[in-house]
Amino acid sequence: MEQIVIGKPMRSRDGGPRVAKRSALRTAAHLAAGVTVLMLLPSGDCWAEGSSFPQRERIKAMRVFVADSLTKVLRELEEGESPLRQGPARISACRNERESLQVVVGAGEQPLSQVRVEVSDLRHEAGGAVIPSARTLANPVGYVKTNRPRYPVDRVGWWPDPLMPSGPVAVEAGGRQPFWITVHVPDSAAPGRYMGAISVSAEGLADREVGLELTVWDFTLAATPPLASAIPIYQSTLSHFYNRWPIPQSMLRNYWDMLFTHRLSSDIIRERNMRAVLDGPETDPSDYYRAIDEGLEYCFPRGMTAFRLALLPGGPDLTEEQQERLIAYLSDFAKHLDARGWLDHAFVYVRDEPPDDKAPEVLKELKTVHRANPRLRAGLCGPVTGPLVELCENEVDICVLHMLNIARGGAPAQANMDRWRRENKVLWMYVACDVRHPYPNIFIDYPLMDCRILPWLCWECDVEGFAYWTAIHWGEENLKGDRPEEKWPNRPWVAANFVSRWGHQYNGDGHLIYPGPNGTALSSIRLEALRDGMEDYEYVWLIEKGVERLEKMGRRPELVTEARQWLEGQSVVRSFTEWCHEPEALLAAREELADLIVRVGRATHR
């Protein structure tokens, strides 16, 4: 039997479709001719003339929903999952902030093809100001299949994670396809409400439209974030995936930029074999210095907060000859950096989680760094208490502390950290694969709230930086192949990218960025959530600095009290195991923070 679709009928008072008189005549004529008339409802469902209302679609149809940036939208609706909502979509952000949401396209009984999502210009409700569509991105969310990991998880299977390049995609029958939409608010944006639309199209169907409302708060995020970060991008990994050496500078910068746009930074500009430096012979460092200079000149204006001058290889105790070679190398390098005003941003990474029995060797390496230049900062990773700390702490400038060592260290750990702050040491925190619920981590099969809460925990325990061992540990299985065309996305991504020496699998550990075509970098929804956490941290930082200014000026004591009470009573994060798990509660807290920042800012500038 032939079928046709007419109109988008209005709903009548009894809930059924209201049809205009002329349409009703056409309907009667069609019924007489044996043609079934289907009316497309605003929801995307179809109603068949003569059937009860509504009847689910019998033909190809498309449903459109919205979701926040903390929801992992699975391919198909699962039992117990909260339903998605229809538009309009509403987000808020300050100037120079990126804010995201999701538009989810659902297919009916037939698949959809050539599905596209586009965002219009956003126009200020008062007229004049416009945030152009070029400031927005709309990326289809990809899925990767996880293995059963070492840590307990709610489910094993397909999880949303990579943000694929913009472009049309297909949606399977009965399936769902989220699109990740990000708006970057310009530095010059006028505060207030902006209005626009998100259009969704699919081959053979009428376009759908979802309203988009953006509230711009009257303050601005700095170019360089207040929370330092150190997340290496290893050139050797890029070389192995793309089968190129040396890798082009443009490719490396693509990956640096992916971190910078998420308010994070790599701490490596160019890898150097320090074992070769220790064992000699001496080589001319001019080319290496030139590469470092070009990298730092590129990175600092984009938000770099610290960089690693060297990573000592560890191993056997340094001989006298090796110490002298190391001193000569670091001394000359420090002099080069100091002449360009960069020395205070540099550090030497001495060892990664050394055991207590290596304390004498670690102490010797720390002292060697300071013999090269007393201003050169030495970083040590791992412990907060214990024999190694007791022996070496006086020579450590940057204490890179494992979250679990802080959380489980009790009063001794807290006492050490308090003393180090008084001594003006720099404290950073990191997570590793052994951090599991109820502690937060960055695994693919953990909620996005875990990623977002990590910078909040940095604020709660008063550390100045966040470190992570790398953003591109893609794993041996994903690196296999002689050509990039033989690798992902042309074959499935192995989510268990990190496998321990004991064979334990971890989904997404050390992995926040996916390899894109031709050396481009692709984000993940976990990286997006971590960026939002970095921006949340800056909200808290801004209110603390604003309150300090108000107190010094002697203005608005009632506002000072209100802000301090909010900070002391907030429920987003109380400890490493007591933190907010509900997106709605965190987003509400963020709105309250933004309102406080605006009011404190106006009070300090009146």
Shared domain check, 350 and 278: yes
pLDDT over 90 percentage in the chain: 81
Residue 15 lies in a domain: yes
Q: Within 13 Å of residue 236, how many CA atoms lie on the same side as its CB?
A: 9
Asked if the model's pLDDT at residue 228 lies above 90, the reply is: yes
Count how many domains the chain has.
4
Q: How many CB atoms lie within 10 A of CB 318?
A: 17
Look up residue 494 and give its DSSP letter.
B
User: Which residues span the domain enclosing 379?
Assistant: 228-533
Spatial distance between the Cα atoms of 39 and 42, rounded to a whole number of angstroms: 10
Round to whole Å and give the CA distance between 366 and 378: 6
Q: Is 149 helix (H, G, I), strand (E, B) or coil?
A: coil
What mean pLDDT comes out for the span 372-387?
95
Contact of 575 with 460, CB cutoff 8 Å: yes
pTM of the predicted model as reported, rounded to 2 decimal places: 0.89
pLDDT band at 3 (very low <50, low <70, confident <90, very high): very low
Residue 53 falls inside a structural domain: no
Query: Of 484, 507, 533, which residue constitutes the final position of a domain?
Result: 533
Residue 12 is predicted with a pLDDT of 37
User: Do residues 520 and 565 share a domain?
Assistant: no
**What would the mean pLDDT of 356-379 be, rounded to a whole number?**
95
Q: Is 318 helix (H, G, I), strand (E, B) or coil?
A: coil
Q: What is the pLDDT of residue 2?
A: 40
pLDDT at 605 > cutoff 90:
no
Q: Assess whether 546 and 506 both reside in one domain.
A: no
**Judgement on whether residues 376 and 519 belong to the same structural domain of the protein:** yes
**Do 461 and 519 belong together in one domain?**
yes
Based on the fold, state whether residues 529 and 545 are members of the same structural domain. Answer: no
Residue 77: predicted pLDDT = 74
Residues 260 and 397 in one domain: yes
The answer to whether position 56 is within a domain reads no
- Work out the pLDDT band at 552, boundaries 50, 70, 90: very high
Are 117 and 12 within one domain?
no
Higher-confidence position of 1 and 233: 233
Is residue 590 located within the same domain as residue 499?
Answer: no
Q: What is d(CA 27, CA 512) in angstroms, rounded to the nearest whole number?
A: 55
The confidence score (pLDDT) of residue 59 equals 60
User: Is the pLDDT assigned to residue 49 strictly greater than 50?
Assistant: no
Mean pLDDT computed over 194-201: 98
| Single residue among 220, 236, 254 that ends a domain in this structure | 220
pLDDT above 60 for 11: no
391 contact partners, CB below 8 Å, separation of at least 6: 359, 360, 363
pLDDT in tens, 515-547: 999 999 999 999 999 999 999 999 999 999 999
Mean pLDDT of 571-591: 96
Report yes or no on 379 lying in a domain.
yes
Indicate the pLDDT class of residue 31, thresholds 50, 70 and 90.
very low
Q: Tell whether 347 and 237 lie within a shared domain.
A: yes
**In this model, does residue 122 exceed pLDDT 60?**
yes
Is 285 found in the same domain as 205? Answer: no
- pLDDT tens digits, 412-456: 999 999 999 999 999 999 999 999 999 999 999 999 999 999 999
Indicate if the pLDDT at residue 16 is higher than 80.
no
Helix segments in 402-487, DSSP class H? 403-407, 410-422, 448-460, 476-479
**332 vs 186: CA distance, rounded Å:** 41
Residue where one domain finishes, among candidates 533, 559, 584: 533
Query: Stretch 274-282: mean pLDDT, rounded?
Result: 86
- What's the mean per-residue pLDDT of the chain? 90
Q: Are residues 396 and 333 part of one domain?
A: yes
pLDDT of residue 522: 98
Q: Is the model's pLDDT at 474 over the cut of 50?
A: yes
Range name among 172-186, 246-260, 274-288, 409-423 with the lowest pLDDT average: 274-288
**Is the residue at 57 inside a domain?**
no
Which domain CATH number covers 368? 3.20.20
Residues 293-318 have pLDDT tens digits of 999 999 999 999 999 999 998 877 88
Q: Is the dihedral of CA 461, 462, 463, 466 positive or negative?
A: positive
Residue 478 lies in a domain: yes
